[in-house]
Every structure is written in C-alpha cells, then in structure tokens.
Amino acid sequence: MSEIFTGGFTQQEPIPEEGIAAALNVLRHGRLHRYNLAPGELGEAAELEQEFAATTGAKYCLAVASGGYAMATALRALGVAAGDRVLSNAFTLAPVPGAIASIGAVPVFVGVSDALRIDLADLGEKITTSGAKILLLSHMRGHICDMDALMQICDRAGVRVIEDCAHTMGAAWNGTPSGRFGVMGCYSAQTYKHVNSGEGGFLVSDDADLMARAILLSGSYMLYERHIAAPPPEAFAKVKYDTPNISGRMDNLRAAILRPQIARLAEQREKWNARYRKLEQGLKGTPGLTLIERPHRESYVGSSFQMLLLDWPVARVEQVVARCKARGVELKWFGAPEPAGFTSTYRHWRYANPHPMPQTDRVLAGLLDMRLPLTFTLEECDQIAEILRAEIGALHQYV
C-alpha cells in the first residue's frame, strides 16, 4: 500500500508563551480598545506599530484589522476614487482586486510570467493602454519580481506603487525589505501568513501626509497623538477635517499576541526556508515538473511551495491533485474551472470584467500550490516530496 502523509496543512504553531501571557494581561485589565489606556500607558497596539516600523525600516506604521483593510486604506489615502483604474496582478488572491473594487475603482489585470512574477512587459503595455496611475502590486505567494526594473517603469510613467506583502513579511529584494519600494506597504497577520493573530494587518510608509490620512481613515477619533509610529501633528492638521472615519483599527489583544512573533520573524524565516529547500531538493529532476527558480537578489520566506505542470492536459492535472490528496498531500490548483476555498483567479472575478490573458492562463492552468506550515518536520518534507514525485511521475508518461 502507498505511504500516506498524516500531517495537517492548516495546523499552525502555537502562539508564543510571551504572547499568551501578554494577551492574558490585556484580558485581565480589560483595555482592549487601542485608545483605552491607563495613565502613562502606551498600549500594545502603539508599541507593536513602533516595533514593526523598526523591523521594516519605515518611518511610520499603522496596525489595522486585516491585510485587505490595509490595501483599501492605502488606496483611499492615495486619493483613488470610484471609476479610477488600478493596475494589479492577474495572479493574486481575491482580497487584492476586492480592495480595489471596494472603493468603486476598476481593477486592470497584468499578466504573470512562468516565474510567477508580474510580467514587466505587460505592465508597461497596460500602463499605456489603461491610463492607470496606481499599481497595487501583489508579491503573490512570496515571489518578488525585479523591483529595480519595476520601479523604473512606474517612476517613468508617474505610476505610484502600493505593495501587497501578505506573503513577503520578512523578505527582501536586493537587501531592501519587501514593502519599502512603493509609497505604502501592506502586510497581513491572518493565520496562514508569517505572523498569526487570526486576522490583522499593517500599513507602512515614509510619507507623512499619506500616513496621516491612513490613521484618520482607520478611526482615530482625533486621538492620533496616541500613535507613536506616526507623523507629526501638522500632518494631521492638514487633513483631519476632510478625512472620513472608516473604522478598522487593530485592538490591543491582537497586538499583544503579535509583538513576540514580530521579534522572532527572522528566526522563523530560516525555519520556513529550510523546509522549502528540503522540498525543492526532493523534487528536482521530476519528469514533467517545472520548479520555480529563485533569483539570487531575492531573500524569500518559503512558507508555501509552488510548481508547474506546464501544458499538461486538464484531466491529468486533476488526477495529480486527486491522487496526492488520497495520500494526504493537499494541493491547490489555480487552473480549476471554479473557485475553491481560498483559490481563485482573475477569470473568476467577474465584477472586474476581466479580458482573456492566454499566456497567463497557460501558467495558471499548470500551477500547483501547497502550504508549508512550521509544524512540518524536515523528515515530513522529504515524505511529501516522495509522494509528489511518485504521483507526478506515474502520470507524466500519459501526457
């Protein structure tokens, strides 16, 4: 009988003991709301923002309710309005175009290369044909494109960049942290990301005017002086009467859980990458399988693993997914005709009226994706690679 993998692809590590203790302290004193502070108290949310700003090298940071809220707030802070066109990756997850559509703007999708990065040639063309002046760039599944080249294209065209770093917290391009190339960087603290508070997110920026608007948008109730990773008061004075409150603050309970996780982010990155490399090593040379090359300038966080069955018939890819699932290995397939769970593509987001993208469709049709939680051991990664290699190899002869 074939060996069965019994690990859980959605089972995360427990919250660090320091986070549990801090959360219990918040529950005991009852001051969960970020602006409900005792005399002389900074508050968990404000201290978390200061620590995350230091981690990324940003001047300013805002902790919010989710990564999706962070993106929508960044768009609003930049003045995006209903009917405006906003560029974004065709290969991303639903909250990214959702953030654009939530303010009445129109997503304009840019193609993906077979390296799973935004197609820079298509980006240049879409800038010209759409007239869009904002790019919401998704570093989807942790794959960072050539950011130097991308910023040159966008700067020449007067396009401002917001980075979606939900999968790249702790990653970098050529030594610059993810989220620090564009005017604003957005991050997620949802359970399946690199830190876990169930839901949550961050916005970072060096632009005082943008961050003042973002803090007011998040629902500061004119209590912005209680933010310690924030712009000076004069930045708020310019916009405080003209910026609506669209409440989406992070509370002190979630902030308490996150602070020790942010402190050990670099250590966690090395653990993820050890598992990623173990799986990559085990799959090298598998007939019919294309692995994704990681550029030397990219410092990644391997919390998930992607691979391609390029130009395989749909029925054969479906068989690979089904056979692996029968052996306990859960794969997400971006070529499926219908959205399933967390997995959907630009073709499914009909509210955006997407146009067909044949080269992108070719890549997505063969794209398999898998979580790599830190609850997996290195030995279990070897076992997963053996199962994948066996099932892909067994079907490759029929392609």
- pLDDT reading at 1 higher than 60: no
Residues of the chain with CATH 3.40.640.10: 17-263
Question: Is the model's pLDDT at 11 over the cut of 60?
Answer: yes
Q: pLDDT tens, 91-150?
A: 999 999 999 999 999 999 999 999 999 999 999 999 999 999 999 999 999 999 999 999
Provide the token pair at 83: 């009917």
Assess if CATH 3.40.50.10440 describes domain 17-263: no
Tokens representing residue 295 in the block: 């550029």
User: Residue range 161-173: average pLDDT?
Assistant: 98
Question: Do 399 and 312 form a contact (C-beta atoms < 8 A)?
Answer: yes
- Proportion of the chain above pLDDT 90, given as a percent: 98
Surface-to-core class of residue 328, CB atoms within 10 Å of its CB (0-12 exposed, 13-18 middle, 19+ buried): middle
- Which range is least confidently modeled, 2-6, 60-64, 361-365? 2-6
Q: How confident is the model at residue 398 (pLDDT cuts 50, 70, 90)?
A: confident
* Residues above pLDDT 70, as percent of the chain: 100
- Whole-angstrom Cα distance, residue 200 to residue 70? 9
User: pLDDT band at residue 186, thresholds of 50, 70 and 90?
Assistant: very high
Residue 155 has pLDDT above 50, yes or no: yes
Q: pLDDT tens for residues 209-256?
A: 999 999 999 999 999 999 999 999 999 999 999 999 999 999 999 999
Q: What is the largest CA-CA distance in the chain?
A: 71
Looking at residue 41, its amino acid is E
Q: In what order do the strands lie in the sheet containing 172-173?
A: 176-177, 172-173, 298-299
pLDDT at 344 over 50: yes
For residue 399, pLDDT beyond 80: no
pLDDT, tens only, 278-298: 999 999 999 999 999 999 999
pLDDT in tens, 376-388: 999 999 999 999 9
β-strand 172-173 against 176-177: which pairing, if any? antiparallel
Report, as an integer, the average pLDDT of 271-280. 98
Cα-Cα-Cα-Cα dihedral of 128, 130, 133, 137, to 10°?
A: -100
265-396 has CATH 3.90.1150.10 classification:
yes
- Count CB neighbours of 224 within 10 A: 18
Cα separation, 370 vs 119, whole angstroms: 23
State the span(s) of the chain assigned CATH 3.90.1150.10: 265-396
Predicted confidence at residue 397, as pLDDT, reads 83
Arithmetic mean of pLDDT, 356-375: 97
